[in-house]
């Protein structure tokens, strides 16, 4: 071993003394230890986590850590289907299979937008800056029509509107985003073009159907509570389950929305269901179909002792006054 004898380095005499220091015989032999795992064994996934940690440390961080979670809280607080919340989260996380993402993984040969054939298709381009996407937003509420916001990322775009839109418009935005993606897939896989106004109408109709068949929305909550009694919803006596059901008509889509909820004698929600189907738009027929769906709902859930409560007085009287074989539909409470 050589030591530099220049100024500030170890002298030869000192180096000789250092090299003559005996090592402890009780220590084990040297071995390689990977600090990325608790066991010291190397794992490929630990390398991935280490790289992600180093990457996050190299990025700029917000001075207020509370604001970083606001975006995800805004998404999960939306009154939309859970599948749509997951879709919006994937868009914010840039993990949708856009042409740019597929090109980076060598799945496709080009990352050009299938619509405009000019720019690269990333998330923000597919949902906002593409001319086709702008045509769809132009058919929506005025706040989208008049917006000239130039976003550099989808997170920035969604946060911009979540801070400015009411809950109703933000829900419609989620439906529009999903319909834009469906339209994109139709042109990519089926080579079929959908009119932008049709896409906007489908998004609005989908929101209306969801609201009509979802009892958890504030607009429907008041209607459920007044069913059956002027004092509001009344629990059944211990034993049977009370089933509340209702139907609504959407003339635009030509379908009916159906909602059913089951509660026990303490008011605890045991099960709920919302659906829609293409059928007659006659109100009494729609109510009768909803009553039948409520029966099937009970059978699927295993509820054999139940009372059904709805706001269709004519339907309830018709079923209660029919021969005994119709009693299989359950006991009905006349609504108000």
Q: Helix, strand, or coil here: 290?
A: helix
Q: Which domain holds residue 235?
A: 222-333
Answer yes or no: is 64 within a domain: no
pLDDT at 321: 66
Mean pLDDT over residues 144-165, rounded? 83
Structure tokens at 287: 């109510």
Q: Which position has the token pair 């509370």?
A: 66
pLDDT at 99: 94
pLDDT over 90 (residue 86): yes
Mean pLDDT over residues 276-303, rounded? 76
pLDDT over 70 (residue 282): yes
Within this chain, do residues 78 and 202 fall inside the same structural domain, yes or no? yes
Mean pLDDT over residues 308-318, rounded? 71
Answer yes or no: is 39 within a domain: no
pLDDT over 60 (residue 204): yes
Rounded mean pLDDT of the chain? 78
Task: Say how far apart CA 313 and CA 217 lie, in whole Å.
Answer: 24
Within this chain, do residues 75 and 189 fall inside the same structural domain, yes or no? yes
Answer yes or no: is 298 within a domain: yes
Within this chain, do residues 115 and 196 fall inside the same structural domain, yes or no? yes
Name which residue leads in pLDDT, 19 or 86: 86
Q: Are 307 and 241 in contact (CB under 8 A)?
A: yes
In angstroms, the Cα distances linking 260 to 26, 129, 168, 302 are: 74, 41, 23, 15
Q: Is 279 exposed, middle or buried (0-12, 13-18, 19+ CB in 10 A)?
A: middle
Within this chain, do residues 312 and 230 fall inside the same structural domain, yes or no? yes
Q: Which of 178, 212, 246 is the last residue of a domain?
A: 212
pLDDT at 235: 75
Dihedral of CA atoms 36, 42, 47, 50 in degrees, nearest 10, equals 0
Q: Which of 194, 212, 230 is the last residue of a domain?
A: 212
Q: How confident is the model at residue 194 (pLDDT cuts 50, 70, 90)?
A: confident
Task: Say how far apart CA 334 and CA 331 lie, in whole Å.
Answer: 10
Structure tokens at 313: 């007085």
Q: Per-residue DSSP letters for 28-68? A: PPP----TTSSSS---HHHHHHHHHHHHHHHS---S-GGGG
pLDDT at 322: 60
Within this chain, do residues 170 and 75 fall inside the same structural domain, yes or no? yes
Within this chain, do residues 75 and 199 fall inside the same structural domain, yes or no? yes
In the chain, the number of structural domains is 2
136 Cβ contact list (under 8 Å, min separation 6): 176, 179, 180, 183, 196, 199, 200
Within this chain, do residues 96 and 195 fall inside the same structural domain, yes or no? yes
Within this chain, do residues 159 and 257 fall inside the same structural domain, yes or no? no
Answer yes or no: is 288 within a domain: yes
φ, ψ for residue 282 (rounded to 5)?
-75, 125
Share of the chain above pLDDT 90, in %: 18
pLDDT 10s digits, 210-265: 887 764 434 333 333 333 344 567 777 776 788 887 888 877 777 888 888 888 87
Q: Which of 212, 243, 275 is the last residue of a domain?
A: 212
Mean pLDDT: which of 35-39, 52-56, 189-193, 254-258 is highest? 189-193
């Amino acid at each position: 071993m050589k030591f530099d004898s220049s100024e500030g380095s170890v002298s030869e005499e000192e180096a000789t003394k250092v090299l003559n220091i005996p090592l402890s015989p009780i220590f084990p032999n040297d071995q390689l230890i990977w600090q990325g795992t608790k066991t010291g064994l190397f794992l490929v996934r630990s390398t991935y986590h280490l790289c992600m940690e180093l990457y996050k440390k190299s990025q700029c961080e917000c001075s207020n850590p509370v604001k970083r979670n606001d975006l995800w809280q805004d998404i999960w607080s939306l009154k939309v289907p859970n599948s749509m919340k997951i879709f919006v989260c994937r868009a914010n996380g840039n993990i949708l299979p856009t042409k740019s993402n597929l090109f980076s993984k060598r799945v496709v040969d080009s990352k050009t937008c299938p619509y405009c054939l000019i720019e690269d298709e990333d998330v923000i381009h597919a949902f906002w800056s593409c001319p086709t996407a702008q045509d769809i937003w132009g058919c929506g509420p005025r706040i989208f029509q008049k917006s000239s916001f130039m976003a550099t990322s989808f997170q920035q775009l969604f946060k911009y509107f979540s801070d400015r839109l009411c809950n109703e418009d933000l829900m419609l935005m989620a439906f529009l985003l999903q319909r834009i993606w469906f339209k994109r897939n139709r042109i990519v896989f089926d080579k079929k073009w959908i009119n932008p106004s049709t896409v906007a109408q489908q998004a609005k109709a989908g929101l209306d159907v969801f609201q009509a068949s979802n009892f958890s929305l504030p607009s429907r909550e008041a209607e459920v509570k007044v069913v059956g009694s002027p004092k509001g919803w009344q629990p059944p006596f211990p034993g049977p389950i009370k089933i509340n059901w209702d139907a609504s008509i959407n003339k635009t889509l030509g379908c009916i929305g159906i909602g059913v909820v089951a509660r026990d004698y303490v008011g605890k929600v045991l099960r709920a269901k919302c659906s829609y189907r293409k059928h007659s738009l006659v109100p009494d027929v729609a109510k009768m179909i909803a009553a039948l769906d409520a029966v099937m709902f009970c059978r699927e859930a295993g509820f054999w002792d139940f009372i059904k409560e709805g706001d269709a007085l004519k339907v309830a009287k018709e079923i209660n006054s029919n021969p005994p074989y119709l009693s299989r539909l359950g006991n009905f409470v006349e609504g108000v």
